[in-house]
């Protein structure tokens, strides 16, 4: 099968289109013929070797953890899925090797959800990792209806989903973003605030009683969070482990087919939009990574594997 691979750590120039063996489908796994996959910052952080102390890489590596496609074969004892089912998954494995920027990928069924008919392929590709991250952070912080929430980086891949999930749970949601994204956030019923100088004072003026919950999806904002959180408020980050020293939750997203199904159904009902910034072909993956590396993309960067 064709796949984008790298055989040493580096920047997007190390990526090559190569021929790889078909991944074997083990017990409790399905093999997915990949329709589309999404780029996440973790892909190029892993490729740069920045997470070498955290996860083992087995070269050559096929990067990519987000996938949507069609079940092409099933392993032993996988009654949940049949050949031909349209599915989606956050396909992180225990080591870095057989990812989703390939024609086929195997995934344990516990990480797989059904792609609802009403959800298009691009949205299904962009939802898993980012959506689960946002959902798990807000759930673990115990977000409740009627609370006032601040989302740092509300126009990014994770943040734009987190802000909408918080709205769906009945919260009043403020989100930081560049001014060019403010109108877009308003269209999602999120109250936009420009980040940068004066952010703390602006937020304090908007919500003098303090936020019930603050979710950090960008890092480097702990001082702002502390200044605007009400007494007894909860906060967490997916980037900055320093939050642990400030009674915050630092979280790494876990694969979960069941939770992904909740989000997929929400998206299919039109209650969760996955904005797609740009799409690329498989062999254009280096450009897709470079775009994501700018750190100012609205929503998701999607790679079409099957055309």
Ligand X SMILES: NC(=O)c1ccc[n+]([C@@H]2O[C@H](COP(=O)([O-])OP(=O)(O)OC[C@H]3O[C@@H](n4cnc5c(N)ncnc54)[C@H](OP(=O)(O)O)[C@@H]3O)[C@@H](O)[C@H]2O)c1
Residue numbers of the site for ligand X (CB under 6 A)?
Answer: 40-42, 130, 133, 152-153, 155-159, 176-178, 181, 195, 217-218, 238-239, 251-253, 292, 295-297
Nearer to ligand X, 95 or 252 (CB): 252
* Rounded Cα gap, residues 156 and 177, in angstroms: 8
Nearer to ligand X, 23 or 63 (CB): 63
Nearer to ligand X, 74 or 215 (CB): 215
Could you tell me the CA-to-CA distances from 26 to 10, 31, 51 in Å, in that order?
31, 9, 27
Could you tell me the CA-to-CA distances from 223 to 40, 216, 219, 243 in Å, in that order?
26, 11, 11, 10
Least Cβ distance, residue 214 to ligand X (angstroms): 12
Nearer to ligand X, 46 or 62 (CB): 46
CA angle 157, 41, 304 (to 5 degrees): 75
Q: Give me 172's structure tokens.
A: 């009043």
Least Cβ distance, residue 237 to ligand X (angstroms): 8
Q: How many helices (H) and strands (E) does the chain have?
A: 9, 17
Nearer to ligand X, 183 or 209 (CB): 183
* Rounded Cα gap, residues 143 and 20, in angstroms: 44
Least Cβ distance, residue 55 to ligand X (angstroms): 12
* Rounded Cα gap, residues 111 and 91, in angstroms: 7
Least Cβ distance, residue 21 to ligand X (angstroms): 29
Could you tell me the CA-to-CA distances from 174 to 203, 210, 300 in Å, in that order?
9, 12, 21
Least Cβ distance, residue 302 to ligand X (angstroms): 12
Nearer to ligand X, 104 or 184 (CB): 184
Residue nearest to ligand X (CB): 156
Least Cβ distance, residue 217 to ligand X (angstroms): 5
How far is CA 297 from its chain centroid? 13
* Rounded Cα gap, residues 172 and 56, in angstroms: 41
6 membership: H or E segment, kind and range: none
Nearer to ligand X, 31 or 152 (CB): 152
* Rounded Cα gap, residues 17 and 58, in angstroms: 17
Least Cβ distance, residue 30 to ligand X (angstroms): 24
Nearer to ligand X, 71 or 297 (CB): 297
Least Cβ distance, residue 74 to ligand X (angstroms): 29
State the pairing for strand pair 276-281/300-304.
parallel
């Amino acid at each position: 099968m064709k796949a984008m691979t790298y055989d040493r750590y580096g920047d997007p120039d190390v990526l090559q289109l190569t021929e790889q063996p078909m991944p074997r489908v083990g017990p409790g796994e399905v093999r997915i013929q990949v329709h589309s996959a999404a780029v996440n910052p973790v892909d190029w952080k892993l490729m740069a070797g920045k997470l070498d102390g955290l996860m083992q890489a087995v070269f050559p590596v096929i990067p990519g953890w987000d996938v949507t496609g069609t079940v092409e074969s099933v392993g032993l004892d996988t009654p949940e899925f049949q050949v031909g089912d349209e599915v989606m998954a956050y396909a992180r494995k225990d080591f870095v090797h057989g990812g989703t920027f390939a024609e086929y990928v195997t995934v344990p069924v516990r990480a797989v959800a059904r792609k609802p008919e009403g959800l298009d392929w691009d949205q299904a590709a962009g939802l898993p990792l980012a959506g689960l991250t946002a959902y798990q952070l807000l759930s673990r912080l115990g977000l409740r209806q009627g609370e006032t929430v601040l989302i740092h980086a509300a126009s990014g891949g994770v943040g734009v989903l987190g802000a909408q999930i918080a709205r769906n749970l009945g919260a009043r949601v403020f989100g930081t973003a560049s001014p060019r994204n403010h109108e877009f956030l308003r269209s999602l019923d999120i109250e936009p605030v420009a980040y940068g100088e004066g952010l703390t004072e602006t937020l304090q003026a908007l919500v003098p009683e303090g936020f019930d919950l603050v979710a950090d999806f960008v890092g480097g904002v702990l001082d702002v969070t502390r200044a605007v959180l009400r007494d007894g408020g909860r906060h967490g980050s997916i980037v900055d482990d320093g939050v642990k020293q400030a009674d915050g939750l630092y979280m790494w997203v876990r694969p979960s087919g069941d939770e992904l199904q909740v989000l997929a159904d929400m998206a299919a009902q039109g209650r969760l939009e996955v904005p797609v910034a740009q799409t690329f072909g498989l062999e254009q993956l280096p450009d897709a990574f470079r775009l994501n590396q700018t750190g100012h993309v609205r929503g998701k960067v999607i790679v079409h594997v099957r055309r």
